[in-house]
Chains A and B, each alone.
Chain A
């Protein structure tokens, strides 16, 4: 089994770095991007299996970034991360092709579960 590669896109440095650290500890190859623009730059050089994308970010928000990702690499599964007490943006992301959404703050297990499901789906599609 290949190593699961995950990109965390969130402008909250503390949150992003902590999550990356925790995923790495669980043998997941995780990397962080501080903005949507940065994420797209990284995606040009590297491949990922799952991207966790925060909805509300300055400059380019999660929905906009999702559109670009789906144009650039449609096979990557995207999980929307929303701190907004509303499911609306999560649902909007799913309409645009996101795999699922997770509400902030969420326990790591929930995030890991969703990442795992997304990964399985991707592998099912490819293999």
Chain B
């Protein structure tokens, strides 16, 4: 606890300065502080949650995307390979089938029924032997060297004696080195789709041709049989894109395919669109005939496994992300809430502490005053005791009237001293009769500034900028205390400035109140001091330069006028004091009451 030697304070303070132990306490400041703390923690919470969520989820998402890409790629490739293998195996089966049919036909040349001039009976036998090997054979024909079908067995007897020398397959077979030929599906003389296997054999330097027709329906059934039922649509197609199989029951020539495989490579896998659906197609060119086997599967079917896996991956990623985000959100919220509550409690404690220190300073002031009065009281008591001793014969003291007068004058001196102290205290607490006049705040400010410029501002480079309001109404007050308010705040502003700075004085009138703002570019007030600056005896000016009473006096003068002082300060940037002086009847009545 500090000891207040109030005697020097009493000497220092002119009687017109009212120093009370009050300071301007604005409950709005406390609310503002709490709001600021809440805002700060809210921002902190948002930053923490966003940072952590990004920090956790971003690597997670990147890793998932990478694995997803790899997985998709692998699965796509494996779907393609799968389809290619199907196409290849079906191609081989069909090749083998066609080779067998060629051999069946070729063997007829060497059968014992064969003759260069076959009878109908012989031809029927030949067809029967063909059908024995494969029921796909429809008919069989034998051609002489001119290209006329001289022998025929089958369902179209009208074809006997037909001249085939103009048919393209016949001409190709004769001109090419190959000993057999498999035609594309064509309509031919009989006007229904079919395809032909033809072989040639030379007898006595003359080339004879044997030909058999295969039922496309049977071929189609064979193709279906080898499709393995894997949701793979297998078909055959030639270079021109014409299908080389027909659905059973369709007698017209099969249609054109929507996909023509490239002739340059023997096999491959590609994607194409069919009816807005993405299809995967594997092709393999047959060895025996210029047909390609197409194995077609919708991409959705080929990649069904992958799509399912992707769905599981995506859903679990979203679920895990949501879980992590929720965990982060609730953990951070809980932690920040706890920290915020502690900060708020700390703020409340600080305010309570400020209040307590204010009470303590009142107590200290009272204790200091008591000490000053106790000293003369002790003298009075001791001296009256001496007089009593003098009058007591037992002590054998000099009890002449002169001696007693001398002691009484000691008592008078001490009593006067005590009276002086209480008089000064009264002066502090109670103003002398005030002379209230209409004060022009702008004029008062100018007077104070010009006075300060001569002494206080002189050692420093201080630029004073004034923005006086033109429409300022006069304030009913004593001019001197108002000057004191402005001077105290301006001196503080000047003290806050180290060497060079600016003090801006603004006055304005709004809401029935005169606002005077004094802003400096000084060192500012640390937040922990801000609540104490109005306390009496609080000072940061070292070397005995400050009494700690300037702002306390200013605050009580302004409060007395019904106003308030607001402070804003940013340490390192400057402080701004705003003095609010109301122009209302209440202020006038307060002043008048005080006059009485």
- Binding partners A and B: yes
Q: Return the CB mask of A14-30 against B: 1 if under 8 Å, else 0.
A: 11001101100110000
Report yes or no: A104 in contact with B386, Cβ–Cβ below 8 A: no
CB distance from B365 to the nearest CB of A (A): 11
Within 8 A of A (CB), among B369-428: 370-371, 374-375, 377-383, 385-386, 389, 395-397, 407, 410, 413-414
Please tell me if B62 contacts chain A, counting CB pairs below 8 Å. no
Pick the residue among A12, A56, A88 that contacts B379 (CB under 8 A): A12
Report yes or no: B370 in contact with A25, Cβ–Cβ below 8 A: no
Within 8 A of B (CB), among A74-127: 83-86, 88, 103-108
Q: Report how far A106 CA is from B385 CA in the complex, Å.
A: 11
Give the contact-size bracket for chain B: 20 to 34
Q: A25-B395, A26-B395, A83-B375 are in contact. Are A108 and B382 (CB under 8 A)?
A: yes
Q: Which residues of A contact B414 (CB under 8 A)?
A: 14
Pick the residue among A18, A83, A85 that contacts B385 (CB under 8 A): A18
Q: A14-B410, A56-B3, A88-B1 are in contact. Are A105 and B383 (CB under 8 A)?
A: no
CB distance from A21 to the nearest CB of B (A): 6
Report yes or no: A18 in contact with B371, Cβ–Cβ below 8 A: no
Report yes or no: A105 in contact with B389, Cβ–Cβ below 8 A: no
Interface centre among B375, B381, B382, B386 (most CB of A within 10 A): B382
Report yes or no: B383 in contact with A83, Cβ–Cβ below 8 A: no
Prevailing SS type, chain B contact patch: helix
Within 8 A of B (CB), among A2-40: 12, 14-15, 18-19, 21-22, 25-26
Report yes or no: B378 in contact with A86, Cβ–Cβ below 8 A: no
Pick the residue among B1, B380, B385 that contacts A22 (CB under 8 A): B385
Using CB atoms, name the residue of chain A closest to B380: A105
CB distance from A2 to the nearest CB of B (A): 21
Please tell me if B367 contacts chain A, counting CB pairs below 8 Å. yes
Q: Which residues of B contact A56 (CB under 8 A)?
A: 3, 371
Interface centre among A18, A19, A84 (most CB of B within 10 A): A18
Report yes or no: A105 in contact with B381, Cβ–Cβ below 8 A: yes
Q: Which residues of A contact B383 (CB under 8 A)?
A: 14, 18
Pick the residue among B371, B395, B397 that contacts A84 (CB under 8 A): B371
Using CB atoms, name the residue of chain A closest to B375: A83
Report yes or no: B375 in contact with A85, Cβ–Cβ below 8 A: no
Q: Which residues of A contact B413 (CB under 8 A)?
A: 14
Q: Report how far A102 CA is from B512 CA in the complex, Å.
A: 58
Pick the residue among B367, B379, B381, B389 that contacts A25 (CB under 8 A): B389
Q: Which residues of A contact B395 (CB under 8 A)?
A: 25-26
CB distance from A17 to the nearest CB of B (A): 9
Q: Which residues of B contact A84 (CB under 8 A)?
A: 3, 367, 370-371, 374
Q: A18-B410, A26-B395 are in contact. Are A12 and B378 (CB under 8 A)?
A: yes
Report yes or no: B378 in contact with A83, Cβ–Cβ below 8 A: yes
Report yes or no: B367 in contact with A105, Cβ–Cβ below 8 A: no
CB distance from A122 to the nearest CB of B (A): 24
Q: Report how far A26 CA is from B1 CA in the complex, Å.
A: 38
Q: Which residues of B contact A108 (CB under 8 A)?
A: 382, 385
Q: Report how far A105 CA is from B375 CA in the complex, Å.
A: 7
Report yes or no: B397 in contact with A19, Cβ–Cβ below 8 A: no
Q: Which residues of B contact A106 (CB under 8 A)?
A: 378, 381
Q: Which residues of A contact B396 (CB under 8 A)?
A: 25
Q: Return the CB mask of B342-381 against A: 1 if under 8 Å, else 0.
A: 0000000000000000000000001100110011011111
Q: Which residues of B contact A83 (CB under 8 A)?
A: 371, 374-375, 378
Q: Report how far A108 CA is from B378 CA in the complex, Å.
A: 10
Q: Report how far A26 CA is from B382 CA in the complex, Å.
A: 14
Report yes or no: B385 in contact with A12, Cβ–Cβ below 8 A: no
Q: Which residues of B contact A19 (CB under 8 A)?
A: 382
Q: Return the CB mask of A30-72 against B: 1 if under 8 Å, else 0.
A: 0000000000000000000000000010000000000000000
Q: Which residues of B contact A14 (CB under 8 A)?
A: 379, 382-383, 410, 413-414
Q: Which residues of A contact B1 (CB under 8 A)?
A: 86, 88
Report yes or no: B375 in contact with A104, Cβ–Cβ below 8 A: yes
Q: Which residues of A contact B380 (CB under 8 A)?
A: 105
CB distance from A113 to the nearest CB of B (A): 14
Report yes or no: B382 in contact with A15, Cβ–Cβ below 8 A: yes
Q: Which residues of A contact B370 (CB under 8 A)?
A: 84-85
Q: Which residues of B contact A88 (CB under 8 A)?
A: 1
Q: Which residues of A contact B381 (CB under 8 A)?
A: 105-107
Q: Report how far A56 CA is from B367 CA in the complex, Å.
A: 13
Q: Report how far A16 CA is from B113 CA in the complex, Å.
A: 168
CB distance from A63 to the nearest CB of B (A): 11
Q: Report how far A106 CA is from B380 CA in the complex, Å.
A: 11
Q: Report how far A36 CA is from B181 CA in the complex, Å.
A: 142
Q: Which residues of B contact A105 (CB under 8 A)?
A: 374, 377-378, 380-382
CB distance from B323 to the nearest CB of A (A): 62
Q: Which residues of B contact A103 (CB under 8 A)?
A: 374
Using CB atoms, name the residue of chain B closest to A61: B3
Report yes or no: A15 in contact with B371, Cβ–Cβ below 8 A: no
Pick the residue among A12, A15, A25, A85 that contacts B397 (CB under 8 A): A25
Q: Report how far A56 CA is from B378 CA in the complex, Å.
A: 14
Q: Report how far A105 CA is from B413 CA in the complex, Å.
A: 16
Q: A12-B379, A86-B367 are in contact. Are A22 and B386 (CB under 8 A)?
A: yes
B residues apposed to A, CB below 8 Å: 1, 3, 366-367, 370-371, 374-375, 377-383, 385-386, 389, 395-397, 407, 410, 413-414
Q: A14-B383, A56-B3, A105-B378 are in contact. List 15 more A-B contacts (CB 8 A).
A: A15-B379, A18-B385, A18-B386, A21-B389, A22-B386, A25-B396, A83-B375, A83-B378, A85-B366, A85-B370, A85-B371, A103-B374, A104-B378, A105-B374, A105-B377
A residues apposed to B, CB below 8 Å: 12, 14-15, 18-19, 21-22, 25-26, 56, 83-86, 88, 103-108
Interface pairs A-B: 4 shortest CB-CB: A105-B378, A85-B370, A25-B395, A83-B374
A-B contact pairs, 30 of them (CB 8 A): A12-B378, A14-B382, A14-B383, A15-B375, A15-B379, A15-B382, A18-B383, A18-B410, A21-B386, A21-B389, A22-B386, A22-B389, A25-B395, A25-B396, A25-B397, A56-B3, A56-B371, A83-B375, A85-B370, A85-B374, A86-B367, A88-B1, A103-B374, A104-B377, A105-B377, A105-B382, A106-B378, A106-B381, A107-B381, A108-B382
